[in-house]
Protein backbone atom coordinates (compact mmCIF):
# COMPACT_ATOMS: atom_id res chain seq x y z
CA UNK A 1 0.00 0.00 0.00
CA UNK A 2 2.81 2.39 0.90
CA UNK A 3 4.54 1.69 -2.41
CA UNK A 4 1.35 2.45 -4.33
CA UNK A 5 0.95 5.71 -2.43
CA UNK A 6 4.54 6.73 -3.14
CA UNK A 7 4.09 6.28 -6.87
CA UNK A 8 0.62 7.76 -7.16
CA UNK A 9 0.46 10.90 -9.31
CA UNK A 10 -2.49 13.25 -9.23
CA UNK A 11 -4.53 13.12 -12.47
CA UNK A 12 -4.09 16.87 -12.87
CA UNK A 13 -0.31 16.42 -12.97
CA UNK A 14 -0.73 13.66 -15.57
CA UNK A 15 -2.98 16.01 -17.56
CA UNK A 16 -0.33 18.73 -17.44
CA UNK A 17 2.42 16.36 -18.56
CA UNK A 18 0.35 15.09 -21.46
CA UNK A 19 -0.53 18.61 -22.60
CA UNK A 20 3.13 19.70 -22.61
CA UNK A 21 4.29 16.59 -24.47
CA UNK A 22 1.60 17.21 -27.10
CA UNK A 23 2.53 20.89 -27.31
CA UNK A 24 -0.94 21.93 -26.16
CA UNK A 25 -0.27 25.28 -24.46
CA UNK A 26 -3.95 25.95 -23.83
CA UNK A 27 -4.35 22.57 -22.15
CA UNK A 28 -1.18 23.08 -20.12
CA UNK A 29 -2.45 26.42 -18.83
CA UNK A 30 -5.82 24.91 -17.93
CA UNK A 31 -4.15 22.02 -16.09
CA UNK A 32 -1.86 24.42 -14.21
CA UNK A 33 -4.86 26.50 -13.13
CA UNK A 34 -6.74 23.38 -12.03
CA UNK A 35 -3.74 22.38 -9.90
CA UNK A 36 -4.02 25.70 -8.08
CA UNK A 37 -7.74 25.22 -7.56
CA UNK A 38 -7.03 21.76 -6.16
CA UNK A 39 -4.39 23.29 -3.85
CA UNK A 40 -1.63 21.02 -5.14
CA UNK A 41 1.93 21.97 -4.26
CA UNK A 42 3.12 24.06 -7.23
CA UNK A 43 6.76 22.96 -6.91
CA UNK A 44 5.69 19.32 -7.01
CA UNK A 45 3.49 20.02 -10.03
CA UNK A 46 6.46 21.66 -11.77
CA UNK A 47 8.80 18.77 -10.97
CA UNK A 48 6.49 15.78 -11.47
CA UNK A 49 4.44 17.30 -14.27
CA UNK A 50 6.19 19.98 -16.29
CA UNK A 51 9.82 18.93 -15.79
CA UNK A 52 9.23 15.23 -16.40
CA UNK A 53 7.21 16.10 -19.50
CA UNK A 54 10.19 17.97 -20.91
CA UNK A 55 12.41 14.97 -20.11
CA UNK A 56 10.09 12.92 -22.32
CA UNK A 57 10.24 15.58 -25.05
CA UNK A 58 14.05 15.57 -24.87
CA UNK A 59 14.07 11.78 -25.21
CA UNK A 60 11.70 11.88 -28.18
CA UNK A 61 13.89 14.53 -29.79
CA UNK A 62 17.05 12.47 -29.21
CA UNK A 63 15.33 9.44 -30.76
CA UNK A 64 14.26 11.55 -33.77
CA UNK A 65 10.60 10.93 -33.00
CA UNK A 66 10.22 14.67 -32.41
CA UNK A 67 11.96 17.29 -34.49
CA UNK A 68 12.67 20.93 -33.72
CA UNK A 69 9.12 22.22 -34.43
CA UNK A 70 7.55 19.68 -32.04
CA UNK A 71 10.17 20.39 -29.36
CA UNK A 72 9.62 24.15 -29.62
CA UNK A 73 5.84 23.80 -29.38
CA UNK A 74 6.26 21.61 -26.29
CA UNK A 75 8.63 24.18 -24.78
CA UNK A 76 6.05 26.92 -25.35
CA UNK A 77 3.47 24.80 -23.50
CA UNK A 78 5.95 24.29 -20.66
CA UNK A 79 6.57 28.02 -20.30
CA UNK A 80 2.86 28.77 -20.45
CA UNK A 81 2.27 26.44 -17.49
CA UNK A 82 5.35 27.70 -15.65
CA UNK A 83 4.08 31.27 -15.84
CA UNK A 84 0.97 30.14 -13.95
CA UNK A 85 2.76 27.99 -11.36
CA UNK A 86 5.92 29.90 -10.47
CA UNK A 87 4.28 32.74 -8.49
CA UNK A 88 2.72 30.11 -6.23
CA UNK A 89 5.86 28.15 -5.41
CA UNK A 90 6.56 28.49 -1.70
CA UNK A 91 10.04 29.19 -0.37
CA UNK A 92 10.81 26.61 2.30
CA UNK A 93 14.17 28.19 3.24
CA UNK A 94 15.67 24.76 3.79
CA UNK A 95 18.53 25.31 1.39
CA UNK A 96 21.81 27.12 1.99
CA UNK A 97 21.60 30.89 2.39
CA UNK A 98 23.90 31.75 -0.45
CA UNK A 99 23.96 33.63 -3.73
CA UNK A 100 24.75 32.14 -7.14
CA UNK A 101 25.03 33.15 -10.80
CA UNK A 102 23.14 30.86 -13.16
CA UNK A 103 23.04 30.85 -16.94
CA UNK A 104 23.43 29.03 -20.25
CA UNK A 105 26.91 29.36 -21.75
CA UNK A 106 27.52 31.37 -24.92
CA UNK A 107 26.48 29.61 -28.12
CA UNK A 108 23.45 27.83 -26.63
CA UNK A 109 19.89 29.15 -26.29
CA UNK A 110 18.33 26.06 -24.65
CA UNK A 111 17.30 27.25 -21.21
CA UNK A 112 14.54 24.97 -19.91
CA UNK A 113 16.92 22.96 -17.73
CA UNK A 114 18.45 26.17 -16.40
CA UNK A 115 15.03 27.55 -15.59
CA UNK A 116 14.06 24.39 -13.70
CA UNK A 117 17.22 24.68 -11.60
CA UNK A 118 16.35 28.29 -10.88
CA UNK A 119 12.87 27.31 -9.70
CA UNK A 120 14.26 24.56 -7.47
CA UNK A 121 17.01 26.66 -5.86
CA UNK A 122 14.85 29.75 -5.44
CA UNK A 123 12.22 27.61 -3.71
CA UNK A 124 14.84 26.46 -1.20
CA UNK A 125 15.84 30.02 -0.29
CA UNK A 126 18.91 30.50 -2.49
CA UNK A 127 19.38 33.90 -4.18
CA UNK A 128 19.71 33.21 -7.91
CA UNK A 129 21.13 35.82 -10.29
CA UNK A 130 19.86 34.52 -13.63
CA UNK A 131 21.93 35.91 -16.51
CA UNK A 132 19.87 34.11 -19.15
CA UNK A 133 21.04 32.16 -22.17
CA UNK A 134 23.84 32.50 -24.74
CA UNK A 135 25.90 34.24 -22.06
CA UNK A 136 29.57 35.26 -22.55
CA UNK A 137 32.11 34.08 -19.98
CA UNK A 138 32.87 37.62 -18.81
CA UNK A 139 29.21 38.19 -17.92
CA UNK A 140 29.20 35.23 -15.55
CA UNK A 141 32.34 36.42 -13.78
CA UNK A 142 31.35 40.08 -13.64
CA UNK A 143 27.91 39.23 -12.24
CA UNK A 144 29.40 36.91 -9.63
CA UNK A 145 31.91 39.54 -8.53
CA UNK A 146 29.40 42.39 -8.49
CA UNK A 147 26.87 40.46 -6.38
CA UNK A 148 29.42 38.75 -4.11
CA UNK A 149 28.17 35.32 -5.22
CA UNK A 150 29.61 32.14 -3.80
CA UNK A 151 29.23 30.03 -6.93
CA UNK A 152 28.84 30.13 -10.71
CA UNK A 153 26.48 27.66 -12.38
CA UNK A 154 26.84 26.82 -16.07
CA UNK A 155 24.39 24.96 -18.26
CA UNK A 156 24.27 23.73 -21.84
CA UNK A 157 22.33 21.23 -23.93
CA UNK A 158 24.92 21.19 -26.73
CA UNK A 159 28.18 19.27 -26.84
CA UNK A 160 30.26 21.93 -28.68
CA UNK A 161 29.44 24.63 -26.12
CA UNK A 162 30.68 22.46 -23.25
CA UNK A 163 34.12 23.83 -24.13
CA UNK A 164 32.93 27.16 -22.73
CA UNK A 165 32.82 25.62 -19.25
CA UNK A 166 36.51 24.81 -19.32
CA UNK A 167 37.29 28.23 -20.83
CA UNK A 168 35.48 29.99 -17.96
CA UNK A 169 37.44 28.02 -15.36
CA UNK A 170 40.66 28.93 -17.13
CA UNK A 171 39.73 32.63 -17.15
CA UNK A 172 39.05 32.44 -13.40
CA UNK A 173 42.54 31.01 -12.92
CA UNK A 174 44.10 33.73 -15.07
CA UNK A 175 42.32 36.40 -13.01
CA UNK A 176 43.32 34.72 -9.71
CA UNK A 177 39.64 34.18 -8.93
CA UNK A 178 39.44 30.38 -9.13
CA UNK A 179 39.49 29.86 -5.37
CA UNK A 180 36.86 32.55 -4.84
CA UNK A 181 34.02 30.90 -6.77
CA UNK A 182 32.65 27.38 -6.69
CA UNK A 183 31.84 26.28 -10.25
CA UNK A 184 28.96 23.89 -10.96
CA UNK A 185 28.02 22.46 -14.35
CA UNK A 186 25.09 20.57 -15.84
CA UNK A 187 22.99 19.91 -18.92
CA UNK A 188 22.05 17.08 -21.25
CA UNK A 189 25.47 16.10 -22.66
CA UNK A 190 27.43 16.94 -19.49
CA UNK A 191 28.72 14.09 -17.33
CA UNK A 192 30.40 13.78 -13.96
CA UNK A 193 33.60 12.61 -15.68
CA UNK A 194 33.62 15.72 -17.86
CA UNK A 195 33.05 17.94 -14.84
CA UNK A 196 36.02 16.34 -13.10
CA UNK A 197 38.20 16.60 -16.21
CA UNK A 198 37.73 20.37 -16.53
CA UNK A 199 38.15 21.02 -12.82
CA UNK A 200 34.56 21.91 -11.87
CA UNK A 201 33.48 21.65 -8.24
CA UNK A 202 29.96 20.34 -8.71
CA UNK A 203 27.77 18.47 -11.17
CA UNK A 204 23.98 18.11 -11.19
CA UNK A 205 22.26 15.72 -13.58
CA UNK A 206 18.96 17.52 -13.16
CA UNK A 207 17.15 20.20 -11.16
CA UNK A 208 16.20 17.75 -8.41
CA UNK A 209 19.88 17.23 -7.56
CA UNK A 210 20.72 20.93 -7.61
CA UNK A 211 19.85 21.97 -4.05
CA UNK A 212 21.58 19.01 -2.39
CA UNK A 213 24.64 19.49 -4.59
CA UNK A 214 24.89 23.17 -3.64
CA UNK A 215 24.63 22.33 0.05
CA UNK A 216 27.34 19.67 -0.22
CA UNK A 217 29.68 21.92 -2.20
CA UNK A 218 29.48 24.60 0.46
CA UNK A 219 29.91 22.08 3.29
CA UNK A 220 32.95 20.55 1.61
CA UNK A 221 34.55 23.97 1.20
CA UNK A 222 33.95 24.85 4.86
CA UNK A 223 35.31 21.52 6.04
CA UNK A 224 38.51 21.53 3.98
CA UNK A 225 39.02 25.27 3.56
CA UNK A 226 39.40 24.71 -0.18
CA UNK A 227 37.14 24.42 -3.22
CA UNK A 228 36.38 20.70 -3.90
CA UNK A 229 38.21 20.59 -7.24
CA UNK A 230 41.47 21.40 -5.43
CA UNK A 231 41.27 17.92 -3.97
CA UNK A 232 40.14 16.36 -7.25
CA UNK A 233 36.52 16.11 -6.13
CA UNK A 234 33.29 16.74 -7.99
CA UNK A 235 30.30 17.07 -5.70
CA UNK A 236 27.02 15.43 -6.69
CA UNK A 237 23.53 15.97 -5.31
CA UNK A 238 22.80 12.25 -4.91
DSSP string covering 96-122, please?
---EEEEEEETT----HHHHHHHHHHH
In a domain, 93, yes or no: no
Q: What mean pLDDT comes out for the span 24-33?
A: 97
Other residues' Cβ atoms within 10 Å of the Cβ of residue 48: 18
> In terms of pLDDT, which residue wins out, 61 or 11?
11
Q: What is the CATH number of the domain that holds 41?
A: 1.10.1240.10
DSSP reduced 3-state for 12: helix
Residues 146, 214, single domain; the answer is yes
Q: Which of 53, 88, 123 is the last residue of a domain?
A: 88
Binning pLDDT at 50, 70 and 90, where does residue 5 land? very low
Question: ∠ CA(25), CA(31), CA(34), 5° rounding?
Answer: 145
Q: Output the pLDDT for position 159.
A: 92
Q: What mean pLDDT comes out for the span 77-85?
A: 93
Q: What mean pLDDT comes out for the span 92-108?
A: 87
Q: Output the pLDDT for position 58.
A: 79
Binning pLDDT at 50, 70 and 90, where does residue 3 land? very low
Q: Domain count of the chain?
A: 2
Q: Which of 69, 88, 107 is the last residue of a domain?
A: 88
84 to each of 26, 38, 53, 67, 88, how far by Cα in Å? 12, 14, 16, 27, 8
In a domain, 236, yes or no: no
Closest by alpha carbon to 226, among 177, 178, 170, 179?
179
pLDDT at 7 over 90: no
Residues 152, 35, single domain; the answer is no
Identify the domain containing residue 73 by its residue range. 2-88
Q: Output the pLDDT for position 175.
A: 97
Residues 115, 221, single domain; the answer is yes
Q: 161 CB contacts (<8 Å, ≥6 apart)?
A: 105, 106, 107, 108
> In terms of pLDDT, which residue wins out, 186 or 206?
186
Residues 67, 168, single domain; the answer is no
Q: What is the CATH number of the domain that holds 196?
A: 3.40.50.280
Amino acid sequence: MEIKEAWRVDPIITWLSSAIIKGDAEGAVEAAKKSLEAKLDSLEVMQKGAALAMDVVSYLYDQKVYYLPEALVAANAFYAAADILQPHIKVDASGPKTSIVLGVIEGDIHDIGKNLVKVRLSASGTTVHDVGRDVPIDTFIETASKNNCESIWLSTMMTPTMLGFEALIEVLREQNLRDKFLVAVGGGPVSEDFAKKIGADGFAKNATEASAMLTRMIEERKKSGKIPSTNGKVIRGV
